[in-house]
C-alpha cells in the first residue's frame, strides 16, 4: 500500500462492507480481463490502493479467478478419442 494515510481516511469514511460506488465492477472486469487501456488500468489501480471497498472487491475477483484456474480439475480425454477422430477422418478422406 503506497499511501497509508489516504487509505485510512477512506476506511473511516466508508464501512468496509458497504458496496462500492466509486468505481464500477465493469471497469474492474475490463482491467482484470486485460481489455483496458494502460492509462485506465493505472488510474483504477491507483484508486484501488486507496479505497478499501474497491480493494476488497478487487481482491475477491482475483481470488475467484485463481480458484477457477487452480481448483477446477482438468479432465483427461479418453485414450481412444484421438484415434477415433483420426480413423473417421481417414475414412472420409478415402471415400471422397
Partner 1 sequence: MIPTAYTEKEKNMVFQSEMLPHLDSMYNFAFRLTLDEDDAKDLVQDTYLKAFRFINSFEKGTNAKAWLFRILKNSFINDFRKKSKEPSKVDYQEVETFYNSEEFDNEIEATSDLRSESVQDLIGDEVANAINSLEVDFRIAIILCDIEGFTYEEMAKILDIPIGTVRSRLHRARGLLKEKLSSYAKKMGYLQKS
Residue 73 interacts with which of Zn ion, partner 1, none, CB < 5 to 8 Å by class: partner 1
Q: How far is CA 24 from CA 5, 20, 28, 36, in A?
A: 24, 8, 7, 14
Residues that bind partner 1 (CB under 8 A): 17-19, 25-26, 29-30, 33-35, 56, 59-69, 71-78, 81-82, 84-85, 88-89, 92-93
Q: Does 54 bind Zn ion (CB under 5 A)?
A: yes
Distance of CA 13 to the CA centre of its chain: 28
Whichever of 60 and 67 has its CB closer to Zn ion, that residue is: 60
As given in the structure block, the three cell numbers for residue 19 are 458496496
Q: Does 22 bind Zn ion (CB under 5 A)?
A: yes
Residue whose C-alpha cell is 479418453: 78
Amino acid at each position: 500500500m503506497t499511501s497509508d494515510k489516504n487509505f485510512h481516511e477512506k476506511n473511516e469514511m466508508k464501512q468496509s462492507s458497504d458496496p462500492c460506488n466509486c468505481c464500477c465492477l465493469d471497469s474492474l472486469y475490463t482491467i482484470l480481463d486485460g481489455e483496458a487501456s494502460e492509462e485506465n488500468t493505472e488510474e483504477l489501480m491507483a484508486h484501488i490502493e486507496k479505497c478499501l471497498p474497491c480493494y476488497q472487491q478487487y481482491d475477491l475477483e482475483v481470488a475467484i479467478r485463481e480458484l477457477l484456474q487452480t481448483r477446477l480439475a482438468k479432465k483427461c480425454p479418453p485414450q481412444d478419442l484421438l484415434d477415433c477422430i483420426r480413423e473417421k477422418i481417414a475414412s472420409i478422406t478415402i471415400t471422397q
